[in-house]
């Protein structure tokens, strides 16, 4: 399997390129509109054609690159089936393996950050790789104070779906704000300041007192991502650059 971790600095978002060397099929998990040109260059450098884009949820901090990549590369758009997005070509759900060539991607329904959030698990001969989206980060978790978030639900998702995985499972989050790249289930159980070793009551209290600022892109990112990365009309001028570069149709 060919694997690349890719970073978009404005929203501190990680995207992940996963490719099957036997078939040439490949996918980008959580693509960002701002880095579409970069992603296409990476694909070209590895002589790959993009088959799928896969989002973990409807993001509030950036516009997805799914729609634009479909227009430029002919890829199919995959989202959690529960979102029922008309713009999505493929619906993913827990219990149904999704194949990228010979790579098996296992969706995990992990609500809490949003009510429809999914993570994705890939088993390799060496280790398992968890693409945890915004649910579990490195020494942190996703916010629960907007967009259908719920702290108790997130706690249960992490404890039941993530912390039940083998300790050696590698964790690849959708974001990191401190130049970290990778974690493991064992590390998050032991060191995660929000949920590691915490009771449900302790976790809810921590989440209720985070006092984080209002997400700066949420007012246009959520409606735009409900259309798989369409640029809506209400984008402030300072964020219009990625949209201005492309004809969104």
- Domain count within the chain: 1
Task: Note down the domain range covering 36.
Answer: 2-238
Q: How far is Cα of residue 92 from the mean position of the Cα atoms in its chain?
A: 13
3-state SS, residue 123: strand
pLDDT at 210: 94
- The residue assigned the tokens 């509109």 is 33
Of 130, 125, 138, nearest to 110 by C-alpha is 130
- Who's near 218: CB < 8 A, 6+ residues apart? 60, 61, 146, 147
The answer on pLDDT for 127 being more than 70 is yes
In a domain, 244, yes or no: no
3-state SS, residue 4: strand
In a domain, 178, yes or no: yes
In a domain, 232, yes or no: yes
pLDDT at 249: 41
DSSP 218: H
How much is the pTM? 0.96
Torsion angle, alpha carbons of 21, 26, 28, 29, to 10? -80
pLDDT at 245: 72
pLDDT at 247: 52
DSSP 126: S
User: pLDDT tens across 189-245, in order?
Assistant: 999 999 999 999 999 999 999 999 999 999 999 999 999 999 999 899 999 889 987
In a domain, 69, yes or no: yes
In a domain, 20, yes or no: yes
Helix (H) or strand (E) holding 16: strand 13-19
CA distance 6 to 27: 13
Of 62, 91, 61, nearest to 76 by C-alpha is 91
Give φ, ψ of 118 to 5 degrees.
-125, 145
In a domain, 234, yes or no: yes
In a domain, 138, yes or no: yes
What's the length of the chain?
A: 249
Of 212, 245, 241, nearest to 145 by C-alpha is 212
Task: Output 232 or 53, whichever has higher pLDDT.
Answer: 53
In a domain, 246, yes or no: no
Residue 5: Cβ-neighbour burial (10 angstroms; 0-12, 13-18, 19+): exposed
Of 184, 140, 139, 151, nearest to 165 by C-alpha is 184
CATH at residue 213:
3.60.15.10
Q: Which two tokens stand for residue 110?
A: 């992990």
């Amino acid at each position: 399997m060919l694997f690349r971790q890719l970073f978009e600095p404005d929203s501190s978002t990680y995207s992940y390129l996963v490719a099957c060397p036997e078939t040439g099929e490949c996918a980008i998990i959580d693509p960002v509109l701002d880095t579409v040109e970069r992603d296409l260059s990476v694909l070209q450098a590895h002589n790959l054609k993009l088959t799928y884009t896969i989002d973990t949820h409807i993001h509030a901090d950036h516009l997805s690159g799914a729609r634009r990549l479909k227009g430029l590369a002919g890829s199919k758009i995959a989202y959690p089936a529960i979102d029922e997005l008309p713009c999505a070509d493929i619906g993913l759900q827990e219990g149904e393996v999704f194949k990228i060539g010979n790579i098996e991607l296992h969706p995990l329904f992990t609500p809490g950050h949003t009510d429809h959030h999914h993570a994705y698990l890939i088993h390799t001969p060496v280790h398992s790789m968890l693409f945890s989206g915004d649910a579990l980060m490195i020494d942190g978790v996703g916010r629960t104070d907007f967009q259908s978030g719920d702290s108790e639900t997130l706690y249960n998702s992490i404890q039941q779906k993530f912390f039940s995985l083998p300790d050696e499972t590698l964790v690849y989050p959708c974001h990191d704000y401190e130049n970290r790249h990778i974690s493991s289930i064992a590390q998050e159980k032991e060191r995660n300041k929000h949920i590691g070793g915490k009771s449900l009551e302790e976790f809810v209290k921590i989440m209720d007192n985070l006092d984080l600022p209002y997400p700066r892109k949420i007012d246009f990112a959520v409606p735009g991502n409900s259309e798989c990365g369409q640029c809506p009309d209400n984008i402030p001028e300072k964020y219009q650059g990625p949209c201005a570069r492309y004809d969104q149709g």
